[in-house]
Amino acid sequence: MESILVRNLSIVITQDGRRRILKDADIYVEDGIILEVGTVKRSADIVLDGRGKAALPGLINTHTHIPMNLFRGVADDMKLFEWLNEKIWPMERKLTPDHVEKGSLLGMLEALRTGTTTIFDMYFFEERIAEAAERIGIRALLSSSIIDGETPETKNWREALNVAENFVKKWKGKSKRIIPSFGPHAPYTVGPEAMEATAEAASRYNVPVHIHLSEDSREVEQIKHTYGVGPIEYAEIHRVLDLKTIAAHVVWPSDEEIEILRRKKVLVSHNPVSNMKTAAGVAPIPKMLSHGVLIGLGTDGAASNNILDMPETMKLTALIHKAVNRDPTLIKAQDVIDMATINPAKAMNLEIGSIEVGKRADIVIIDLKKPWWRPIHSPISHLVYSFRSTDVTHVIVDGRLVIEEGHLKTMDENEIMENAEKAAMDLLERAGVRSFLSE
């Protein structure tokens, strides 16, 4: 693997234990590892000019459905369960592995170009998603979906669990960038027997679990009516929270459930844009933080967000909780940066999330020569309130330069977009859905 030296960076936001911000610093990377941060005297195979630029740890998107970029704009302005039942699930039933691969590459291209180096995905045909991640060069924690019913990939939860188990067996330890895991979809789609079997399998293979929890108030009512407990309590009873667990959304937890999340060290993936668009509500992030719950950030899929823009998610996270609570002191900028970098890395035991010696080299370089970055009174403030995804110039994942001067190096961008457009057309035809694309 080629060594990389980034010289003369104006700012390095390290996200180390002291949250240091360095001025006029270099970063040296070799064999995928950060070996020096500061003044570097050696040369490298690739030398990048960091003047007028800042480096930050690669952003971590803790909840998405990456192939759903094919669904972007197909179904908007609908209530969550109508959106799922009338639009999304009927289209998903027509998905093929080829659709999933082409949609994944489009989503990964978008993620990389906007500063995300790691995605936590949950979907179907996860094998094809892993292969796409390997080709394009992104880091990915991939969860094979398990649903108590028919999916485009399987006919029942037992088949789905078998597919997920085979996926985990194949990919665990195979790649430094791919982390396989199990994805029990949600309490309202996964019954007790399926949930417990999934928890047992994840424990046996010692891999994470990725699940939707308490996304909508109607979900909470349904689970309480069916099982007598809330969704988070349901997940705890069936041992899903005993593992390294990513809980997406968590908009409607009770106080008792917040304590469960803290005690079980669950990583809550906050998805403010998706939750606003579906009117699911606003997760009580300030309360969860005050109770010691670990929070990460996610975009959700492009069907319920439209873009995979983590800088936008960071800004909205900082703003929405101030507005709904009428308290400008809530969710400080540093809290948000932690949610986007070091928090999920620690929760999943990943050697990323900060720029410091010994960590895997997932690094984003951004251009500061923009009017919205000046004057730089506070790099932390600007990273949350002023940073735009178009500021990204270079992206390094696991010590490999994958974005250079804003463009993908590992694959042909135009081919990725053209193939995704064709896949979307085919999916529309199969599902009998019309859009501007098919007219």
Predicted confidence band of residue 9 (pLDDT cuts 50, 70, 90): very high
Residues 6+ apart with CB under 8 A from 187: 195, 213, 219, 223, 227, 231, 234, 235
185 marked among binding-site residues: yes
Domain 59-347 matching CATH 3.40.50.10480: the answer reads no
The CATH topology of domain 4-57+359-408 is: Urease, subunit C; domain 1 (2.30.40)
The model scores a pTM over 0.85: yes
* The residue to which tokens 């977009």 are assigned: 417
pLDDT at position 80 is 73
312 marked among binding-site residues: no
What is the H or E stretch that residue 425 is in?
A: helix 413-431
Pairs from 258-266 (Cβ < 8 Å, separation ≥ 24) = 258/284, 258/287, 258/288, 258/291, 258/293, 259/291, 260/232, 260/233, 260/236, 261/232, 261/288, 261/293, 262/288, 262/291, 262/292, 262/293, 264/236, 265/294, 265/347, 266/241, 266/293, 266/294
63 marked among binding-site residues: yes
Percent with pLDDT over 70 in the chain? 99
Beta bridge partners of residue 4, listed in sequence order: 29, 46
**pLDDT at residue 438 is higher than 70:** no
Q: What is the pLDDT of residues 27-48, one digit of tens each?
A: 999 999 999 999 999 999 999 9
Residue 36 CA to residue 53 CA, distance in Å, equals 18
pLDDT at position 87 is 78
pLDDT at position 36 is 98
The domains of the chain are located at 4-57+359-408, 59-347
Beta bridge partners of residue 400, listed in sequence order: 397
Average pLDDT value over all residues in the chain: 96
**pLDDT at residue 439 is higher than 70:** no
Over residues 214-235, mean pLDDT = 97
Predicted confidence band of residue 91 (pLDDT cuts 50, 70, 90): confident
**pLDDT at residue 433 is higher than 80:** no
Over residues 257-284, mean pLDDT = 97
65 marked among binding-site residues: yes
pLDDT at position 65 is 97
Q: What is the pLDDT of residues 311-369, one digit of tens each?
A: 999 999 999 999 999 999 999 999 999 999 999 999 999 999 999 999 999 999 999 99
Q: What is the pLDDT of residues 148-206, one digit of tens each?
A: 999 999 999 999 999 999 999 999 999 999 999 999 999 999 999 999 999 999 999 99
pLDDT at position 132 is 98
pLDDT at position 118 is 99
300 marked among binding-site residues: yes
pLDDT at position 300 is 97
Predicted confidence band of residue 223 (pLDDT cuts 50, 70, 90): very high
Tell me the CA distances in angstroms from 36 to 39, 43, 64, 76, one per residue in order: 8, 12, 33, 47
